[in-house]
Amino acid sequence: MLVACKHDNDLCVAINYNRFKLVIWTFLFFSVLLFLNHDAAYAVEELSESDDITLFEIDSPSEHQISGGESHFYHIELAAGEYLFVNVEQKGIDVVVIVTDPDSQRVAEYDSPNGAQGPEPVEFIGERAGLYHLEVKSLQDDANAGQYTLVKREHRQATDADKNRITAKRYENEARSLYRKGTADDLNASRKKYLEAASLWQQAGDIGKQADCLQAVGVIHSYLDEHGQAISAYKQALALSRTLSDSSRIANALASMGGSYSKIGEKDRALDCYLEALAINKKLAVHKSVCLVLNFIGQIYDSRGERQKALDYFQESLALSQSINYLWAQAYSLESIAFLYGSTGELSKSLDYREKSLEIFRKLGDRRSEGLAILNMGYIRDLMGEKQHALQHYKEACDIAELLGNRGMRATALNNIGFIYFDFNDGQTALEYFAKALAIRQEIEDKRGEASTLNGMGLVYFVREEYEKAKECFEQAYSLYRATDDRPGQAIGLMHLGMVHDSMEEYEKAIDYLTESLNIRRDVHDRYGECNTLTRLGVVYFNMADYANSIAYLNESIALSREVGHDRNESIALFHLARAEHNNKNAAFARTCIEESINKLESIRTTVINSDLRSLFFAGVSNYYEFYIDLLMQPHQDESDTGNFLTAFHVNEQRLARSLLDILSETRKDIYRGLPADFVGRERELRNQINIREQRRLELVQKNYAADSLARVKNDIQNLLKQYEELETEIRLASPQYADLLRPHVLSVRDIQEQVLDENTTLLEYSLGEKNSYLWIVRQNSVRTFVLPKRADIEAAAKKLYNLINSRNQFGLQETPQEKSQRLATAETALPDALNELSDMVLGEWLYDIQTQRLVIVCEGALQYIPFGILQIPGEKKSNHLIAHYEVVSLPSASVVPLLRDRSTSPGRADRSILVLADPVFSPHDPRVQQTLLAEQDTVSFAQAGAEISVEQEFMTRSVQEFGYDGLFDIPRLPFSRLEAEAIVASAPQTQSTLALDFDANYNMVMEPELHKYQIVHIATHGLLNSAHPQLSGLVLSLVDKSGAATNGFLRLHDIFNLDLDADLVVLSACQTALGKEIRGEGLIGLTRGFMYAGASRVVASLWKVDDEATAELMRRFYGFMLSEEQLSPAAALRQAQLSILQEKRWNSPYYWAAFVMQGDWQ
């Protein structure tokens, strides 16, 4: 059965689908062959006393009835050296026969693989005189009653031939027992036992049994990946079988040999073997074997890329197995079809077939196959980017493996769970699962699996910059690769060691490791790996300031990448070449290189499979944009030279506008608002197919497959890309909004001046960089640029200011009230200086020249934590906040404004009604829960109901814990949100407002289609932000119903994107609802972005947890200014409300009035 697991590649963890594709049928067939035509021995219960004991004096057949769970006992007196042969003929029930000696010690067990029909031949020699017992026992306790016939065939003195035959059988039984243990040592011991048995059968003149033992030897060699030796053993078995003209054995040997030929890449020989075996089995009408061989042939055609032929064979196998009701083969035929669809990227179909096979495994009670099928389903979900579902499958498979004691399966599941948490950027949890997987793999001596797990641990430490620990893991992994003679693995291990030593600035060691890795890659013809290693060498030489060598290696990498189609590496190498050429005083060529790099990067990101790793990849190369902007801005000192800094502005907009697409890599698959369902499915399926075929192309290049196979895959990719482009055109016509999510449209400076700005509005757009940061000030008729301090300085000042403002939300361990009061006083004292420090960095004297009434801020990084209205006018000695002079509005990028305005001017906009949700119920222990019903309810009901969303609940619980709460029940009630809501409703005409409190403030209320009729939507509840995995961020609505039973109350980010809004304004009066995960180059992601996509023209949200009472008062005044006769715009109303709160002594600290910011259209 396939074990779907993740493994390492050069720079990150990746999934290789086809690597595991053939394992399932290889294991299946070898297992069948190993027990075919042999007596098998299984562990049974200890002998127990029974009244059903009969003297063994039966020379003629006697028939007996037996039921499930029953045992019948017989005994016979034997002299030392006497031989006994008894036959037990099964008739409708599967039995096992156990022989014990005079001391009640087991001598042998017999259970032939013939199910409930056929003979159980029992023969043994009494080693010493005495009374021997035979137990005939039902194999299954719940079996229906059946019969068996028992007859004593022979009872005489043993001959030498008898001794050899029985010894040979004993060796075979011992060999099978060793084989089942599965370790390398046990397998080798099993092989030796089979060879000894084969020799004894040869002496006894039983050629058929000799052939069977040699067949088993071949199976063990195959299992150990010793395929050359396996083929040799199969050939011997085949020759003996041909001597006997035993068609059945001939077919088995041919099929086994075909499997080994396939493993070593000799597909034509494998196919010849399979076809001959198929013809024999069809002639013999051995339908079960026909089913198996049909699948083997399908696998060969699948490996050649001849998908239709492969599918035809799989379907023929499925139809035959269904016609003979061979459930086991049906399940595996379904699995093969699932693999085929998975390999073509049709992952939804793959899942459908796998679910059908899983149903059969469960019907058969085959828990092992069930567990592996679930593991594979998790693997497909992983490929689809559905990490939560994948995690759920992996954990279920892990539980089954633990129940079965299947350590190998459990280690694989644990390892995959570790990589899921690594994808979630939860390194600590990933390490915990890796440690569990590592312990098991060490116990079962799975050295390759151990190396993979160590690489995963090393990558976690590497990302966390714990380089010594990373180095230790990579060194251990490399040693294991060497011990198993895994040359590609050795190249990966050396690559990782080179990366670590480079990061530790041990450049000579890094070069040594990378050079050795490069040599191995060339030896094994790993062209992609060669590209990656050449790039890494170029980077190390750059870090050493050896630009000549850096340029040489990078140029070699780029040339090879173009030859083999390694687009991602080409983009990376071009970026580093741009840096090297720039430092080598070749700025013009550096610009050419970085432009090529970014263009290549943009094309890659549209086809890379959905994964958090993609976001991390892009975060790592956000430096591309920073470098390009810095390169363009360097000669800008002469402001008459506007071309370069206008281009730099466009590059910055390009980076910011793409942030939503790249961060929401997992959530986007669940976003369907504004697009017909058929389009969503087609777009998703095409992306999957492109990604899978690109992975297949990579494999073909690495393994030097035939040119025609590579050409077919390339042609498939081109056709799919053409289909994708045509679909994008259809999508843009059907839903411009969704199309912009796929491929955002970026405005130029002139476009922004004409389409976005008015005479009363000035745009301030920031770009933070490693060496310098930049500010563009854009008005309707002018553009100015300024050089600012580097990113590190600005972000340090911003975080310092944020922490001072937010000091009321910080808690010291065992802090006394007096200590807290002193800490807050100190923070208030330090706040003005911190405000001035940041204001001086990001604002300047040019501010006095701005006479407009409004500032629109586009910023990134830690600046997004700061409400710009709080900043000070530079040079002022007394408090003089920007908000006193300007409306201040934020945007994710200037390019989003036209989309927001297109919606707001569309016909049929919502009326002026208001929806307010507030004061939801978070706990079954809340006083509002009906106590009588709660008393009757089992307290575990919340957990039981939550099982349906167990994975989501797990991550939301972790998000809650990040806020300092112990669990979901510990989320505090927001009592003032009720007063806030009632005050808002009182400000509006009664007929135009809807108030949802308590249990009514629930998930279903928000997801209702009626939501689109409200012009203003106000949600007063906790906003939970999972900074490690922003897709799990959301708003917490009522978590229980009136009876205290759990209900889904998590409004997730993908839920928000799918809301049916048509609102002028959404207000998130909650805790930290505007914050999100910061990935450099991507921007800080918050729930506000989702509401804008869902149809809100503007969003008001908080940047930190705010005092409930102050928030309620601020909101009352905000709505008062907006809904009164003055009818101020939302931006103006928010400004007036904040200024009025600022005037009150008890709330004049920025903590109380400054948290809320408005994002979106200000008009």
Query: What order do you get walking across the sheet with 146-157 strand by strand?
Result: 62-66, 146-157, 82-91, 117-125
Residue 22 pLDDT grade (very low, low, confident, very high; cuts 50, 70, 90): very low
C-beta atoms surrounding 846 within 10 Å: 12
Q: How does 513-546 read in b/e, with b if 16+ C-beta sit within 10 Å?
A: bbebbbebbeebebbbbbbbbbbbbbbbbbebeb
Let me know: does 355 contact 361? Beta carbons within 8 Å: no
Give the helix ranges, DSSP H, for 52-111.
none
User: pLDDT per residue over 661-670, tens digit each?
Assistant: 454 444 444 5
In this structure, what token pair is assigned to residue 396?
A: 């279920």
CB 894 within 8 A of CB 747: yes
Q: What is the pLDDT of residue 665?
A: 45
Residues 97 and 123 sit within 8 Å (Cβ to Cβ): no
pLDDT band for 649, please (50, 70, 90 cuts). very high
Kindly tell me the burial class for residue 185, based on how many C-beta atoms sit within 10 Å of its own C-beta (0-12, 13-18, 19 or more).
Answer: exposed
Cross-strand partners of 130:
78
Place of tokens 């310098």: 772
Residues 293-331 pLDDT 10s: 999 999 898 887 788 899 999 999 999 999 999 998 899
Neighbours of 285 (CB within 10 A): 8
Q: CB–CB of 599/736 below 8 Å?
A: no
53-158 is a CATH 2.60.120.380 domain: yes
SS3 state at 722? helix
Least confident of 164-178, 193-207, 227-241: 164-178
- The strand ranges marked E within 625-781 are 761-767, 773-779
Cα torsion through 933, 938, 943, 949, rounded to 10: -50
CA-nearest of 461, 459, 462, 407 to 438 is 407
Residue 497 scores a pLDDT above 90: yes
CA distance 277 to 1090: 59
Nearest Cα residue to 1025 out of 1051, 1003, 988, 1007: 1051
Count the Cβ atoms, other than its own, within 10 Å of residue 128.
Answer: 11
Confirm if 749 and 765 have CB atoms less than 8 A apart.
no
Contact 1039, 921 (CB under 8 A): yes
How far is Cα 632 from Cα 654, in angstroms, rounded to an integer? 15
Among the residue ranges 126-135, 139-148, 882-891, 904-913, the one predicted with the least confidence is 904-913
**Residue 220 pLDDT more than 60?**
yes
pLDDT tens for 421-437 read 887 777 888 999 999 99
Q: CA-to-CA distance for 1077 and 1083, rounded, in angstroms?
A: 8
77 sits in which H/E element: strand 71-78
pLDDT tens figures, 819-868:
888 988 898 899 999 999 999 999 987 787 788 899 999 998 888 889 99
Per-residue 3-state assignment (H helix, E strand, C coil) for 455-494: HHHHHHHHHCCCHHHHHHHHHHHHHHHHHCCCHHHHHHHH
pLDDT value of residue 38: 34
Mean pLDDT lowest among 48-57, 155-164, 875-884, 947-956: 48-57
Q: Answer for the pair 825, 809: CB distance below 8 angstroms, yes or no.
A: no
Q: How confident is the model at residue 1106 (pLDDT cuts 50, 70, 90)?
A: confident
3-state secondary structure 533-552: HHHHHHHHHHHCCCHHHHHH
Q: How far is CA 1051 from the centre of its chain?
A: 22
Q: Which of 553, 550, 748 is nearest to 649 (CA)?
A: 748
- 963: pLDDT confidence band, cut at 50, 70 and 90? low
**pLDDT at 505 exceeding the cut of 80:** yes
- Give the pLDDT confidence score for residue 115 in this predicted structure: 80
How does pLDDT run across 524-551, given as a tens digit for each residue?
888 888 998 999 999 999 999 999 999 9
- 152-156, 454-458, 733-737, 914-918: least confident range: 733-737
Question: Quick one: tokens of 768?
Answer: 């933070």
The answer to whether residue 691 scores a pLDDT higher than 90 is no
pLDDT in the model for residue 990:
65
| Amino acid code (one letter) for 186 | D
Residue 350 has pLDDT above 80, yes or no: yes
pLDDT at 1154 over 70: yes
Residue showing tokens 């009670």: 365
Q: Which two tokens stand for residue 1084?
A: 């800080």
pLDDT, mean of residues 54-83: 82
User: What average pLDDT does the structure give for the chain?
Assistant: 81
pLDDT score, position 3: 38
CB-based contacts of 380: which residues, under 8 Å, 6+ apart?
A: 4, 338, 342, 347, 350, 351, 354
- What pLDDT shows up at residue 280? 94
pLDDT of amino acid 579? 94
Yes or no: say if 20 and 7 are a contact pair by the CB < 8 Å rule: no
Quick one: average pLDDT of 1090-1119? 86
Q: Which residue has the higher pLDDT, 556 or 824?
A: 556
CB 1150 within 8 A of CB 805: yes
Predicted pLDDT of residue 285: 92
Residue 904 — pLDDT band, cuts 50, 70, 90? low
> Taking every pair of C-alpha atoms in the chain, what is the biggest distance, in angstroms?
117
Cα separation, 591 vs 688, in Å, equals 34
The three state secondary structure string of 996-1065 is: EEHHHCCHHHHHCHHHHHCCEEEEECCEECCCCCHHHCEEECCCECCCCCECCCEEEHHHHHCCCCCCCE
pLDDT tens across 565-617, in order?
888 889 889 999 999 999 999 989 999 999 999 888 777 644 433 333 333 34
Q: What is the pLDDT of residues 1015-1061, one digit of tens each?
A: 999 998 887 765 555 656 778 888 888 888 878 788 877 788 778 88
Span 276-281, average pLDDT: 94
**Per-residue confidence band for 25, with pLDDT thresholds at 50, 70 and 90:** very low
| pLDDT attached to residue 160 | 86
pLDDT in tens, 674-685: 666 667 667 767
Look up residue 419 and give its two tokens: 């990589």
Q: List the chain domain ranges.
A: 53-158, 675-734, 749-894, 898-1105
Lowest mean per-residue pLDDT among 63-77, 636-650, 924-938: 924-938
Decide: 1110 and 1141 in contact? Cβ < 8 Å: yes
Residue 637 has pLDDT above 80, yes or no: no
Q: How far apart are CA 1084 and CA 865, in angstroms?
A: 9
Q: What confidence tens digit (pLDDT) does each residue in 352-384 have?
A: 999 999 999 999 888 888 999 999 999 888 877
Residue 410 to residue 368: CA distance in whole angstroms: 11
Provide the token pair at 168: 């040979």
The answer to which of 47-56, 80-89, 384-393, 482-491 has the lowest mean pLDDT is 47-56
Three state DSSP letters for 876-936: CCCCCEHHHCCEEEECCCHHHHHHHHHHHCCCCCCCCCEEEEECCCCCCCCCCCCHHHHHH
- Answer yes or no: are the C-beta atoms of 1064 and 1013 closer than 8 Å: no
- Output the pTM of the full model: 0.72
Q: Residue 39 half-sphere exposure, CB side, CA atoms within 13 Å?
A: 25
Q: Is the dihedral of CA 18, 20, 25, 26 positive or negative?
A: positive
Q: How far apart are CA 234 and CA 232, in angstroms?
A: 5
Q: How confident is the model at residue 871 (pLDDT cuts 50, 70, 90)?
A: very high
Tell me the average pLDDT across 738-748.
Answer: 70
Through-space distance between the first and last CA atoms of the chain, rounded to whole angstroms: 62
